[in-house]
Amino acid sequence: LDRSVASNWPWFYFLEDYFFPVCLLVIHFFANLQPLHQELYSMHPSAFFLPTFLEAVRTNTEESIASIMTEPIPGVFSFAMLQPNFCDMLLEEVENFEKWVHAMKFKIMRPNTMNKYGAVLDDFGLEAMLNQFMEEFIAPISKVFYPEVGGGTLDSHHAFVVEYGKDRDVELGFHVDDSEVTLNVCLGKQFSGGELYFRGIRCENHVNSETQHEEMYDYSHVPGRAVLHRGRHRHGARPTSSGLRMNLLLWCRSSVFREMKKYQMDFSSWCGECQREKRERQIQCVKATKHFLGVLEGQ
Ligand SMILES: [Zn+2]
């Protein structure tokens, strides 16, 4: 094969980007990773979700959804979501993946650039179930609460489990997610610490701007309970001081919103700093007008 032909070969690029998932697929085929809980691989709403959650989403009105939520700070919603048995099964399934990855002498299995411990669930055959999870159980909520960031047009996801504790990741620095809407559900097990702290919603231009006092909020995880927030809501995780904490993360994305954002200039419908600047401009404008009128009266 001619060298220039080889470097233009599309598969070459494909493998560069998808090397690890492709390896997993090939090895699944030959080494046959056995699922531990087959029932996780297709959607069984009543086995996965708590009756209160299911009822609220199935009724699918703004009132029914709001009735199961608490909103401790604007834009952060928390609600009881998962059956304890589903949490346990998912934890066992992740442990099963990890054992297998270890036996296959794989070392790299990072769920994202910031977490070292955990697993990308989509790479292990759970992608179809998790897509249905997003479309039928997250999209109805995000359509109501996050319409201005593409909550009504979610069309892809990235799903992973993260692990915190001794011999795992300890904490997670301040960051934003590569998502429009993030679902974060604690799966267990026993732990202390590991609070999720929030520091205001910011557009790309303002991601490093100061936090206002009223934007600070700390959330303590409870197994089975979910937190939903915009991907652009700045946050981090405090150290998990003892035990082991595992969380399911579902980053929900909207290709429509990402395309529209390229042409958008004003993010004051959701960015806290854009809103603050806009208010400041209005105050200055009123002051200038008053001053002008005062001058006229004085004449
Ligand atoms: Zn902004």
What are the structural domains, with CATH classification, of the chain? 1-31 (no CATH), 33-264 (2.60.120.620)
Query: Does the structure show a pLDDT above 50 at 4?
Result: no
How far does Cα 80 stand from its chain's mean position? 17
Q: How high is the pLDDT of residue 30?
A: 52
Provide the pairing of β-strand 118-120 with 156-165: antiparallel
Distance 157 CA to ligand 1 centre (A): 25
- The pLDDT confidence band at residue 23, using thresholds 50, 70 and 90, is low
Query: Of all residues in the chain, what percent carry a pLDDT higher than 90?
Result: 74
What CA–CA distances, in Å, run from 299 to 19, 23, 271, 295? 77, 82, 43, 6
Distance 81 CA to ligand 1 centre (A): 32
**DSSP class per residue in 153-165:** S--EEEEEEEEEE
Q: How high is the pLDDT of residue 11?
A: 54
Q: How high is the pLDDT of residue 198?
A: 97
Query: Does the structure show a pLDDT above 50 at 128?
Result: yes
Single pTM value for the model:
0.86
Distance 199 CA to ligand 1 centre (A): 14
Distance 226 CA to ligand 1 centre (A): 27
Q: pLDDT tens across 231-275, in order?
A: 999 999 999 999 999 999 999 999 999 999 999 888 999 999 999
Distance 272 CA to ligand 1 centre (A): 7
**DSSP class per residue in 27-51:** HHHHH-PPPS-GGGGS--HHHHB-H
